[in-house]
Structure 1
Amino acid sequence: MMRTPADACADARQLIEVLPRPLPRDEARRADAVQATLLASGLLDSSNLGNSPAVAAAARDGLTSLAHLLDEAAPGHGAGQLLLLLLAGRDAFTPHPAPDEDQLRARDTATALLHLVLWHTDDPLRLLGAALQVHAEETRDSSTGRG
């Protein structure tokens, strides 16, 4: 059963709230902290801690949720906004208009999820693409009353 965008927004808020700030500098400890965030948010079940496909799926759901959350401020543009924020953070440029604090926290959470995914898949960009595809499907289904 697909989640509604409202459910996804609640998941994204939970992820953002639970993610420790600052994250540990050590890669392994950072991965553990982000995985603990997925557990606390309910996107990952404790029985799946060592299961890379399950962790990757939870991270994908987290990225999808963040895109839905960004849709709230700019309906229909959350996925593009998430990509722009991720690129801006990586390439050190500031989009116009400058992101607000909530957008920056969403970007930091997405970045942390993508770092975790590096431990669980060899193609994080494909996982990000899958997250944005799920976002589009959930958005479409909610607008047509399906789901």
Structure 2
Amino acid sequence: MRTSPADSRAAARHLIEALSRPLPSNEAHRADAVQAALLTSGLLDSSNMGNSPGVAAAARDGLTSLAHLLDEDVPGHGAGQLLLLLLAERHTFTPHPAPDADQLRARDAATALLHLALWHTDDSLGLLGAALQGHAEETRSCAAARA
């Protein structure tokens, strides 16, 4: 999915809204809920439901979209902010300044996407890296088009 950052932000908002809270604790039900949210957001095409490469690509695009969404607060730093939020959750520390409610929802969505990715790829860290690289490329492309 190569699109504009504005379209990515809209998809990220739809993804966050579509994710049930709390997510089911049962692994299979959780994966189904996250796939349904990806489908609702438009990041996943119904023909890719259950198709591991397609679901992994949708998860990657979702992560890219979340980074674009976080760019709204601090332009150019959304990818770093997303990574910091994920690390803070993983290692149980609070970044400074403390994340607001919207940032926490973006983090929760990213965590859900990475959890789903474990079902569909052997390299979830590579998937996150590809998402952050996609964010950088889309940001540069948009900036070059404005110049």
TM-score of the superposed pair, with normalisation by structure 2: 0.97
- The aligned residue for residue 113 of structure 1 is 113
Structure 1 residue runs of 4 or more that deviate by more than 2 Å after TM superposition: none
Deviation at 1:22, TM superposition (A): 0.3
- The aligned residue for residue 127 of structure 2 is 127
Q: Distance in 2 between matches of 1:43 and 1:65?
A: 9
Q: Distance in 1 between matches of 2:45 and 2:2?
A: 17
- The aligned residue for residue 48 of structure 1 is 48
- The aligned residue for residue 76 of structure 1 is 76
- The aligned residue for residue 27 of structure 1 is 27
- The aligned residue for residue 57 of structure 1 is 57
| Partner SS for 1:135 | helix
Q: Distance in 2 between matches of 1:43 and 1:70?
A: 17
TM-score of the superposed pair, with normalisation by structure 1: 0.97
Q: Distance in 2 between matches of 1:106 and 1:80?
A: 13
CA deviations 1:32-59 (Å, max 9, x no partner) are 1001101111111111112100000000
Q: Distance in 2 between matches of 1:45 and 1:69?
A: 21
Gaps of 5+ in 2: none
CA deviations 1:87-123 (Å, max 9, x no partner) are 0011110000000000000000000000000000000
Tell me the C-alpha RMSD between the 2 structures: 1.0
Q: What percentage of residue pairs aligned between the two structures are identical?
A: 78
- The aligned residue for residue 103 of structure 1 is 103
Gaps of 5+ in 1: none
Say how many residue pairs are matched.
146
Deviation at 1:2, TM superposition (A): 2.5
